[in-house]
A = this chain, B = another copy of it.
């Protein structure tokens, strides 16, 4: 999916919500656990219930890999089930030497046909670039993450006053255009989003950390929205586990609708300043 198709979808749904499919066998409702593929069954119902309110789905690979080949099958079926107008993100945080990153790109863009994959920057340019060689596909590069450990290295300040995440953004901007490169910017540091928006005015940000991790959607939107929206805000647990009962899909729809309603407001209020 290219940038204008993504923006078109955001305008038409008036939402920049991404639903994280962090589907955990230990957390899905009991009545599903006896179906043939409980993970896919759960995802299918979540997708049916939320697709009107979100523009993207983000399965986190760890949840599928923890189930071995069966998990990989659930992931394939889930990806095939996601409506074609929704943007898909393989939240995989990969990155390796060049020839190996090229194989990860093949795994996520050809084997699985995701629109995008999250990539970790530690190994530098040749670990990121192979993902940028696929027309219509996207790299979503970790810049400033939402977890407590983000402070360990990402905030490290170099002799010339630049923090590591700032260097990552600056260098990566020369590797990929806003048509193929987004950044992960955690919602738990809302004050930093405004700063990062100055560093990368034209790139989309994938913002995790709203919901279970405590990020504030209004602050994130005020700091990050652009005339092209420029944000995909992810919520996983707060939506997909809104209820642990048989009404989990309705509960997820209610939560997603609530977030989308807020987003509609913020789009009219903050977008296009």
* Residues of chain A having any CB pair with chain B under 8 Å: 22, 24, 60, 62-63, 65-69, 72-73, 76, 91, 93-98, 100-101, 103-104, 106-107, 110-112, 120-128, 142, 145-154, 156-159, 161, 164, 167-168, 171, 213
Contact = CB atoms under 8 A, between A and B. Distances in A.
Given A95-B93, A104-B62, A147 B126 contact: yes
Nearest to A70: B69
B147 A123 contact: yes
Contact of A167 (B95, B146, B153): B153
B62 A101 contact: yes
A98 B22 CA distance: 13
Given A122-B154, A128-B149, 4 more contacts: A62-B96, A65-B107, A91-B96, A158-B158
Nearest to A150: B124
Nearest to A157: B159
A149 B167 contact: no
A104 to B, nearest CB: 5
A76 B66 contact: no
Number of copies of this kind of chain in the complex? 2
A203 to B, nearest CB: 18
Given A121-B122, A148-B124, A62 B156 contact: no
B147 A104 contact: no
Nearest to A156: B158
Contacts of A96: 60, 62, 91, 93
A100 B156 CA distance: 24
A65 B104 contact: yes
B149 A123 contact: yes
Contact of A122 (B97, B110, B142, B167): B142
Task: Find the residue from A124, A128, A142 having the highest chain B CB count within 10 A.
Answer: A124
26 contacts: A60-B100, A62-B96, A62-B103, A62-B104, A65-B103, A65-B111, A66-B106, A66-B110, A69-B69, A69-B72, A91-B96, A93-B123, A95-B120, A97-B147, A98-B147, A98-B149, A121-B122, A122-B153, A123-B154, A124-B150, A125-B149, A125-B152, A126-B149, A152-B171, A156-B158, A164-B164
